[in-house]
Amino acid sequence: MGLAIALLTVSDTRTAAEDSSGDALQQLLEAAGHRLEERRLVPDDRYQIRAEISRWIADAAVQVVISSGGTGLTGRDGTPEAVAPLLDKTIDGFGELFRVLSYETIGTSSLQSRCLAGVANGTLLFVLPGSLDAVTTAWNRLIGAQLDASTRPCNLVQLLPRLKE
């Protein structure tokens, strides 16, 4: 059985009709047998970002939250700052591996990625850049396998029941 996943797009410029990265994530998670629990779009405002993600962290029906956008270095990019205080634990290897994989396609520009992952109240969170390439790389090369219970030697799905111990 698949997981219940909530998607958040962070953007001051995109509308729901123009959210190709959110569309791709939804298609990828559904193709993998997961269920879209909810999908929202908010502007680059750390308090609105934090409010949406906090609501999902508190909702026992949501097992995974994936956000896209707001991870750059401009003054409006604040998704990592919005999410980091909510985390009980970080998954440091996620950002490290993502930047290595991104380096293969975008070179040294990968150092500008401030993506991160962690756990809050038993919910897995992934904070991704907003580009279509970034979200597909993250899903296809990292997240998808870790949300697949058959991935060996281990995966995040098998840890879900124990995250609140």
CB neighbours (10 Å) of residue 144? 17
Tell me the average pLDDT across 14-22: 92
The residue-averaged pLDDT of 38-45 equals: 97
pLDDT at 99 over 80: yes
- Domain chopping of the chain, boundaries: 4-162
DSSP 25-72: HHHHHHHTT-EEEEEEEE-S-HHHHHHHHHHHHH-TT--EEEEES--S
CB 78 within 8 A of CB 44: yes
Judge whether residue 1 has pLDDT over 80.
Answer: no
What's the confidence (pLDDT) of residue 14?
87
CATH class, domain 4-162, is alpha beta
CA atoms within a 13 Å half-sphere pointing along the CA-CB vector of 134: 26
Mean pLDDT of 92-104: 96
What's the average model confidence in pLDDT over 95-115? 94
Query: What is the pTM (predicted TM-score) of this model?
Result: 0.96
Q: DSSP label at 80? A: H
